[in-house]
DNA sequence: ATGTCACAGTCCCTGTGA
C-alpha cells in the first residue's frame, strides 16, 4: 500500500499538476489539503476517470481537504462534529485503514487569536485520536503547520518567536505521538531534514530554505510494515508548482 | 528576510492569507 499527502494550494489552480502526478505515481491513497474550492467544483469525475474514488470536505475560498483512493473509500466523516465552520479534517476507511487528511490552522503569529484557534484545533485532534479504535490501523496525514524539531527547520534562529516551532505547538505533536502514533518520515530518516514546504518568495526552494511540516503519523503496526517514506521534490519544481511537495509512504501489507 | 502565489471583490488593481 502506497499513501501520499499533499497540500496542493488550490486544487483549481493545481489540477494539471495533480492529475499528472497521480498518473505518474499511482498512489493507492492521496490525502489532499487546501483544495480551496466548493464540493461543486471538486473534480470527482476527472478523478474517477483515473480510477479514483474521492471524498471532499470543501469550503470555498479557503481550506478544504480531500481523500482520494483506488483501494476503497468508506465511512467518511467531515470535521470534528462540532460547530467549527472551517473545512480542515476529513476521515475515511481505505483498504481497512482509517485515514485522516488534516489541514492544521497556520496560527499567523503567537499573539494572534488564530494561534489560540490552532492550539485548540490540535487539542481536538489529540482527543479524537486518543479515542480511536486501537484494533484498526490508522494514518493521520496532512499539513500540520508545525516543524516537530529544529532538524525540521532550515534556520531555527529565524523562527524564534514565530509560529510553526513554538513549544505549545510541538507539545501538541508530542501528544499525538503519545496516543501511540509515529511520525513515519522521521522514524525512517532520523537525521535528514526531509523538508516538505518552501516559501514561494526569495528563491527559497533553490536555496534549501524549507520546513518539514507535512507529516504522516501511523500506528505502531503500520510503522513495522513501512518500507519507505520520501518527499517528492520533483513536484515542487516546474510550471505552477504548489509550495508544498508530496510526502509518500509505502507499506508491505 | 520577504524577491510569490491564489483568491475575491473594489473586478485588470487591491487587500488578505499563506
DSSP readout, A62-111? S--EEEEESS--EEEEES-SSS--S--EEEEEETTEEEEEEE-----STT
- pLDDT in the model for residue A39: 97
Burial of A217 (C-beta count, 10 Å sphere; 0-12/13-18/19+): buried
Cell of A113: 487569536
Residue A71 CA, nucleotide B18 C1', distance (Å): 33
Local structure of residue A28 (DSSP, 8 states):
S
Grid cell listed for A142: 496532512
pLDDT at A141: 98
Q: Which protein residue has its CA closest to C1' of B5?
A: A200
Q: Does at least one atom of strand B sit less than 7 Å from the CB of A200? A: yes
* Amino acid A169 CA to nucleotide B10 C1' distance, rounded Å: 37
Task: Spell out the per-residue pLDDT of chain A, length 253, in tens.
Answer: 999 999 999 999 999 999 999 999 999 999 999 999 999 999 999 999 999 999 999 999 999 999 999 999 999 999 999 999 999 999 999 999 999 999 999 999 999 999 999 999 999 999 999 999 999 999 999 999 999 999 999 999 999 999 999 999 999 999 999 999 999 999 999 999 999 999 999 999 999 999 999 999 999 999 999 999 999 999 999 999 999 999 999 999 9
Please report how the helices A113-130 and A167-178 are oriented relative to each other, as an axis angle in degrees rounded to 10: 10
**Residue A219, pLDDT score:** 98
Q: Which residues pair with A149 in a beta bridge?
A: none
pLDDT at site A214 = 98
pLDDT (0 to 100) of residue A209: 98
A9 CB contact with strand B at below 7 Å? yes
Q: Report the C-alpha gap between A67 and A63 in whole angstroms.
A: 14
Total residues found in chain A within this entry: 253
Chain B nucleotides close to protein (CB under 7 A) are 1-8, 17-18
Which residues of A in 126-165 have their CB below 7 Å from strand B's atoms?
A: 155, 158
Q: Is the CB of A192 under 7 A from strand B?
A: no
CA of residue A138 to C1' of nucleotide B14, angstroms: 44
Question: What domains can you pick out in chain A, each with its CATH number?
Answer: 2-251 (3.60.10.10)
Residue A218: Cβ within 10 Å count? 27
User: Which residues lie closer than 8 Å to A84 by C-beta, 6 or more apart?
Assistant: A121
The conformation of residue A218, written as its DSSP 8-state character, comes to E
Proximity of residue A227 CB to strand B below 7 A = no
Distance CA A94, CA A66 (A): 13
DSSP A161-207: TSTTS-HHHHHHHHHHHHTTEEEHHHHH-SS-----EE-SGGGHHHH
Q: What is the pLDDT at residue A180?
A: 98
Half-sphere exposure of A98 (CA within 13 A, CB side): 16
- Hey, is A30 helix, strand or coil? strand
Is the whole-model pTM more than 0.95?
yes
Amino acid at each position: 500500500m502506497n499513501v501520499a499527502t499533499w497540500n496542493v494550494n488550490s486544487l483549481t489552480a493545481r489540477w494539471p499538476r495533480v492529475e499528472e502526478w497521480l498518473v505518474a505515481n499511482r498512489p493507492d491513497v492521496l490525502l489532499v489539503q487546501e483544495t480551496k474550492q466548493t464540493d461543486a467544483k471538486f473534480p470527482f469525475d476527472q478523478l474517477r476517470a483515473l480510477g479514483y474514488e474521492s471524498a471532499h470536505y470543501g469550503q470555498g475560498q479557503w481550506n478544504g481537504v480531500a481523500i482520494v483512493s483506488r483501494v476503497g473509500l468508506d465511512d467518511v466523516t467531515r470535521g470534528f462534529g462540532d460547530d467549527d465552520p472551517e473545512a480542515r479534517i476529513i476521515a475515511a476507511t481505505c483498504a481497512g485503514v482509517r485515514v485522516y487528511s488534516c489541514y492544521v490552522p497556520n496560527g499567523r503569529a503567537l499573539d494572534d487569536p488564530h494561534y489560540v484557534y490552532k492550539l485548540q484545533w490540535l487539542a481536538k485532534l489529540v482527543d479524537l485520536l486518543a479515542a480511536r479504535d486501537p484494533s484498526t490501523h490508522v494514518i493521520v496525514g496532512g499539513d500540520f503547520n508545525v516543524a516537530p524539531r529544529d532538524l525540521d527547520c532550515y534556520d531555527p534562529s529565524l523562527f524564534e518567536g514565530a509560529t510553526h516551532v513554538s513549544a505549545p505547538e510541538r507539545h501538541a505533536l508530542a501528544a499525538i505521538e503519545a496516543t501511540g502514533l509515529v511520525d513515519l518520515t522521521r522514524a525512517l530518516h532520523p537525521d535528514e531534514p526531509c523538508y516538505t514546504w518552501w516559501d514561494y518568495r526569495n528563491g527559497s526552494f533553490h536555496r534549501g530554505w524549507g520546513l518539514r511540516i507535512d507529516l504522516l503519523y501511523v500506528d505502531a503496526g503500520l510503522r513495522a510494515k513501512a518500507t519507505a517514506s520520501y518527499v517528492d521534490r520533483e513536484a515542487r519544481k516546474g510550471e505552477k508548482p504548489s509550495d508544498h511537495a508530496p510526502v509518500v509512504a509505502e507499506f508491505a501489507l
